[in-house]
């Protein structure tokens, strides 16, 4: 009879300049996993089923101390990137036709760019085939090829399928039944949310008043980065108490809340920078760059020691969650966020803090409605 081998914890050797170290902790090692969870900056990656901590010598030493002889160090499997493709004349023609169709139908520039990039490997894969004659099975085979060889993510898979669907439906005018392509089951990951204390620390971290105003505006109004960079000075409707969002996701206009505290900060910012058209402008005029906003946020997170996995979009998630915690009607939150369906907004109800202030235990009802006889081990006296 073979003895059962003791499972090992695997630490994957981080690549140069990697900010985090990943670990595989077998489920059976519950005590080790619980000890690791208590480490500062520990995080669980649901899709990869791996744990991680910040890449520091101190953390590595702590991990070695926790796991001891059960720790193995291995290299992460290198992901093969989809090779760059030099488009042929046939591919260029197909891309131009698709681009023209999307522009005429009013697709957002970001969507057009994403779909065109996604279609390039598809067109190359079937370059010697008439695109109109490609079957559903062949398309699924192509998607499987990308998953198997290049380990594309679920998000990439869905984007490529949407791009192919768009090409056949809009550019080639093929019937809708053609695109019933097998899609991956969506992961039900909850949005990442910051506490009120973390938000306060992050948005007040920048010393530069423009940077401070940018972070305050994203959180205060629940904005996407793309919406923030397109804000005009005239979109701050101070007299009516709202911010006007022009052409947000889905080409929709909407109103969102204007905090009087934000308005005071924006007025102070305006006196210093005097923007001419866009509320936040770059050094040479024009819209402020999205990358600069991401850098401002990352710096603030690092300086405050906040959740390292948060992004500027986390401020938008936090805006919605904090409003729900205050009991604001979900319809108002839906309108402020610009969601077409209340089901999209309802996801925030799943991440509300559960404690004795937000939820009453049924045990409370029992003790409040009945008289418990302490002299008996069972039963209640009415």
Phi, psi dihedrals of residue 187, rounded to the nearest 5°: -70, 135
DSSP assigned state of 339: -
- Tell me if 319 sits within 8 A of 350, measured CB to CB: no
Helix (H, G, I), strand (E, B) or coil at 118: helix
Q: What would the two tokens of residue 375 be?
A: 């002299």
Task: Write the burial class of residue 146 (CB in 10 Å: 0-12 exposed, 13-18 middle, 19+ buried).
Answer: middle
Query: Residue 223: exposed, middle, or buried by beta-carbon count in 10 A (0-12, 13-18, 19+)?
Result: buried
Q: Locate the DSSP E strands across 129-239.
A: 236-237
Largest CA distance in the chain: 90
CA distance 202 to 139: 45
Look at residue 308 and give its three-state secondary structure.
Answer: coil
Residues catalogued as catalytic? 224, 249, 313, 316, 339, 348
CA dist., res. 323 & res. 330, Å (int): 9
Which two tokens mark 162? 């949407």
Radius of gyration of the chain (CA): 26
CA 192 – CA 45 distance, rounded (Å): 12
Chain CA centroid to CA 188, Å: 12
Q: Tokens 């170290």 correspond to what residue? A: 21
């Amino acid at each position: 009879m073979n003895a059962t081998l003791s499972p090992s914890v695997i630490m994957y050797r981080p690549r140069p300049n990697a900010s985090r170290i990943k670990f595989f902790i077998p489920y059976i090692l519950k005590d080790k996993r619980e000890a690791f969870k208590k480490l500062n900056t520990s995080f669980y990656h649901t899709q990869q089923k791996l744990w991680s901590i910040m890449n520091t010598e101190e953390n590595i030493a702590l991990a070695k101390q926790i796991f001891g002889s059960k720790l193995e160090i291995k290299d992460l499997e290198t992901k093969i990137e989809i090779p760059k493709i030099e488009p042929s004349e046939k591919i260029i023609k197909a891309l131009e036709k698709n681009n023209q169709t999307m522009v005429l139908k009013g697709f957002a520039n970001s969507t057009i760019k994403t779909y065109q990039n996604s279609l390039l490997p598809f067109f190359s894969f079937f370059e010697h085939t008439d695109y109109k004659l490609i079957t559903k099975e062949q398309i699924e085979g192509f998607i499987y090829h990308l998953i198997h060889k290049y380990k594309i993510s679920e998000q990439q898979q869905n984007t490529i399928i949407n791009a192919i669907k768009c090409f056949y439906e809009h550019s080639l005018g093929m019937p809708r039944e053609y695109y019933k392509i097998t899609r991956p089951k969506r992961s039900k990951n909850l949005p990442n949310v910051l506490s009120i204390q973390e938000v306060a620390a992050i948005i007040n971290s920048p010393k530069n008043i423009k940077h401070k105003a940018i972070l305050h505006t994203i959180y205060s109004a629940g904005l996407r980065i793309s919406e923030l960079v397109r804000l005009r000075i005239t979109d701050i409707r101070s007299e009516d108490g709202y911010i006007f969002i022009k052409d947000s996701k889905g080409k929709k206009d909407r109103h969102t809340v204007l905090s009087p505290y934000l308005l005071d900060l924006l007025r102070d910012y305006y006196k210093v920078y005097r923007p001419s058209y866009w509320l936040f402008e770059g050094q040479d005029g024009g819209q402020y760059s999205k990358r600069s906003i991401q850098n401002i946020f990352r710096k603030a997170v690092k300086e405050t020691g906040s959740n390292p996995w948060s992004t500027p979009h986390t401020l938008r998630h936090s805006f919605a969650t904090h409003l729900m915690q205050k009991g604001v009607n979900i319809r108002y939150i839906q309108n402020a966020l610009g969601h077409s369906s209340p089901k999209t907004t309802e996801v925030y109800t799943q991440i509300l803090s559960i404690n004795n202030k937000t939820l009453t235990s049924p045990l409370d009802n029992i003790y409040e409605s009945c008289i418990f006889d302490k002299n008996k081990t069972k039963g209640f006296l009415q």
